Amino acid sequence: MPARLAILASGRGSNLQAILDAIQAGTLDARIAGVFSDKPDAPALQRVPEALRWARTPKSCGGRDAFDTVLADAVAACAPDWVVCVGYMRILGDAFVQRFAGKILNIHPSLLPRHKGLHTHQRALDAGDGEHGASLHFVNAELDGGAVIAQARVPVHAGDDADALAARVLAVEHPLLLEVLRLAASGRLAERDGHATLDGQPLFTPLPLQSPKA
């Protein structure tokens, strides 16, 4: 059976669209079980049928802890094999992470452990980094701190601004996400004792998945 994916998104959903396109093309053996957002007006929600959409705000649920519980219940109800965060802008609470331990993936626009959190492209420029990129990692209770599965790297060019660098990273984010989801959907990827494993063997360094556009 195709792997069931619960997608968490807060923004426009370009990575979600890449997943949908790959499923439609037959290059990813998965199905979208639901798309969940903390922003009812998130454009990502419009990319799937209404029956697959779920959106609440923490305020509407009575606060962050209540929101996390309601979200976790909604995600669990769609019986996902994997929970995939693509531009989801809220930190998942400990209870949520524990409930789906070893099943939550996140794509982050930096070469972790460098530049956790927000504004990664400008921070890479400010730091004088010679390369930048994206990381796909398991989610744990620490912000962007889970085991890194794979990375894609791009050069930082003289004269880059944050927008130019962001566009270059986005070009490798999509193929990076899809390659890792293929591993996950085929049952080859897992988390064990805080380490990512592939075919049962620990990944001591991230897989160097690289897009031709890099």
Among residues 108, 115, 132, 137, the one annotated as catalytic is: 108
Residue 187 backbone zone (phi > 0: left; psi -120 to 50: alpha; other: beta):
left
108 is catalytic: yes
Mean pLDDT of the chain: 95
Query: What residue has token string 């959409």?
Result: 53
Distances (CA, A) of 157 to 50, 113, 121: 42, 21, 12
Spatial contact of 138 and 198, defined as CB atoms under 8 Å apart: no
The yes-or-no verdict on residue 212 having pLDDT over 50 is: no
Render pLDDT for 116-167 as a digit per residue (tens, 0 to 9): 999 999 999 999 999 999 999 999 989 999 999 999 999 999 999 999 999 9
Which one of 3.30.830.10, 3.10.20.740, 3.30.470.20, 3.40.50.170 gives the CATH number of domain 3-208? Answer: 3.40.50.170
| 25 Cβ contact list (under 8 Å, min separation 6) | none
Chain Cα centroid distance, residue 64: 21
Please give the single-letter amino acid code of residue 106: N
Give the predicted TM-score (pTM) of the model.
0.94
Tallying the residues shown for the chain, one arrives at: 214
d(CA 79, CA 3): 10
Q: Domain limits of the chain? A: 3-208
Do the bridges between strand 3-8 and strand 30-37 make them parallel or antiparallel, or are there none, so unpaired? parallel
Q: pLDDT value at position 108?
A: 97
Rounded (10°) angle between helices 14-25 and 162-185: 40
Q: 209 pLDDT band (50/70/90 cuts)?
A: confident
Confidence bin at 214 (pLDDT 50/70/90): very low
Q: Which residues pair with 83 in a beta bridge?
A: 6, 104
